[in-house]
Structure 1
Amino acid sequence: MNYRHAFHAGNHADVLKHTVLLMLCEVLADKPAPLFALDTHAGRGIYRLDDAKAQRTGEATGGVGRVPDSDVPIPLRPYAAAVAACRAAHGPSAYPGSPWLLAHALRAQDRIACCELQHDEADALRANFAGDPRVAAHARDGYTAMHALLPPRIGTERFGRGLVLIDPPFESQMEEFDVAITALRDALQRFPQATYALWYPIKLRRTLHPVFRRLAALPAKSVLVAEVLVRPDDSPLRMNGSGLVLFNAPWKFDARLRTLLPALARVLGDEGRGTWRVDWLKAPE
């Protein structure tokens, strides 16, 4: 795998997945029982937007760079506050990856497992969270970890609730869905009470229709899609937007998304003309 998230940190896809991730953490942390979170493609956890990789692509300009410093739309304020907290701790160019956001949003009784296949990134991940006993960093494939770590047991402690973020690089394009769907089917059978979030890029959206039919057939109680397009999906050569498929989303989470996503589309869309979508592939009974 050659993918390096440092080139893409803070782009519009990150803003979508990270705002939704924080919202999921907020809802799930409302209940007192401990929560187990698994981040399958974690990266290093903290990035610098002034380093050579981020500067080479400039993608953060069209992502976190569009989130205003003042008068932040209300749905985006938890995200803006988290970015500000990361920068207060790690410097003004820092950007929080999903492991940092999970550690920031979750509680002392919760546990977080982060998987990263590239050894240098995994080493950086371990270093970044060495002082946090809640966070375990694993240098391993995230898909196989879904089988090995679910249902979660840490020592004698068992967790009845979970949040699994699956954020693959999609280097293999549409074939990535084959691997993700296989892992999800197994995980949903082994740990059906967890909430799962699968991120995916959007180039030509019509190519995703067969995938959505396969995702809807997985053994989840509900399957919800949330998407933001920053430009029309009329080119296969660039990422025009992205989405998350949420399996077993918390109760009434679609209503929360219908408040968040319009704000994201306005902020992230080219010339403010982004579009958004929230739709059930399988509605809860």
Structure 2
Amino acid sequence: MNYRHGFHAGNFADLLKHTALCELLRLLTAKDKKLFVLDTHAGAGGYDLAGSQARRTGEAEAGIGRLIAEPRTGMPDAVARYLAAVQAYDRKFGPAGGTLHRYPGSPRLIRAALRPGDRFIACERHPEEALKLKREFAGDRAVEVRQSDGYHAVKELLPPVERRALVLIDPPFEANDEFEVLTRAVRHGLRRFATGCYAIWYPIKDEAPVAGFLESLAGVKCLDMRLDLGPRTPEGKLAMCGLVVINPPWKFEEAMREALPWIAARLGDGVRPTFRVPALAAAPQA
């Protein structure tokens, strides 16, 4: 494994998945019942936007850099909450100053939303990234960090004793068979815990494997959201990605239909969001 999210932290893909993640956490923690959260591909936890990796790609400048500079007037609530979480992390762990220095990965956004009694397990397979993640949460008993295969954790940890869960699956997509492995993991998860909420990020480079993955969700209640940077994207750069949320909580779709077009409008000409709600049918056989 060679993937390092530090090169891509705060890019357009993070805007999609982290705005959605913050909104999912808000809605799921609104109920007075304990929640289990599993982050299968957690990464390093937090990222230095002034570091060599972020500076080499400049993706954060074209993503979170544009959003953070926007006035809050007229901003959708879901976007405002996401940006508040980003700034809170930066103030706590970054150097003082008006410029955004550090960006929170999904583990930090999850940790900030946890209540006493909620449980969180973050998995990261890459040894160096896992070590950084352990250092990020050193001494924090509310977070269990595992250097392990997050796909295996789906089978190992579901169903949770809490009977309520958010499972974030955000793979690096380095392997040629990643969509196949992902599809099997999601099927395992749904067989073991059909009522859980699953948020699954995926890149769109070739429509065929994407279509196969989405077809595997036939009969499952889900919302598929995409963010497309358009034809002006430089060759070799990711131009489109999606996020599927299975069993989304009430009012989540409404919030995202307001937030994503607003985000897209501020990323440049030609950027557009799309939404797809697959028709429900008979649940797939195990």
Structure-1-length-normalised TM-score: 0.90
Q: Work out the CA distance in 2 between the residues paired with 1:206 and 1:234.
A: 21
Structure 1 gap ranges (5+): 153-157
SS at match of 1:199: strand
Deviations 1:92-123 (A, max 9, x none): 41100000000012212211100000112111
Query: For residues 194 and 159 of structure 1, what CA distance do their matches in structure 2 show?
Result: 11
Aligned match of 1:145 in 134, 145, 153? 153
Mapped to 1, the partners of 2:206 and 2:65 lie a distance apart of 25
Rounded to whole Å, the distance in 2 between the matches of 1:205 and 1:61 is: 28
Deviation at 1:61, TM superposition (A): 1.2
Larger deviation: 121-130 or 275-284? 275-284
User: In 1, Cα distance between the equivalents of 2:182 and 2:261?
Assistant: 28
Alignment of 1:238-277 (within 5 A): 238-268=237-267, 270-271=268-269, 273-277=270-274
User: What residue is the counterpart of 1:98 in the other structure?
Assistant: 106
Q: How many residues align?
A: 274
Unaligned regions of 5+ residues in structure 2, if any? Answer: 95-99
Q: Which residue of 2 aligns with 1:155?
A: none
How much has 1:214 moved relative to structure 2? Answer: 2.1
**How many angstroms does 1:54 deviate by?**
1.1
Is the 2:37–2:166 Cα contact (8 Å) retained in structure 1?
yes
1:128 aligns with 2:172: no
Q: Which residue of 1 aligns with 2:200?
A: 198
Structure 1 runs (4+) deviating above 4 angstroms are: 204-207, 233-236
Q: Describe the superposition over 1:207-257 as per-residue Cα deviations: whole angstroms up to 9, x where unpaired.
A: 63333212325xx3x021011112249988331121101111112422222
Give the equivalent residue in structure 2 for 1:172: 175
Cα 1:230–1:196 change in 2 (3 A) is same
Cα separation, partners in 2 of 1:235 and 1:121, compared to 1, 3 Å: closer
Q: Which amino acid aligns with 2:115?
A: R
Q: Say whether the 8 Å CA contact 2:218–2:280 is kept in structure 1.
A: no
Identity of aligned residues (%): 43
3-state SS, counterpart of residue 215 of structure 1:
coil
* Paired letter, 1:245: V
- Cα distance in 1, alignment partners of residues 25 and 231 from structure 2: 30
TM-score by length of 2: 0.90
Residue of structure 2 equivalent to 1:51:
51
Matched, 1:281 2:278: yes
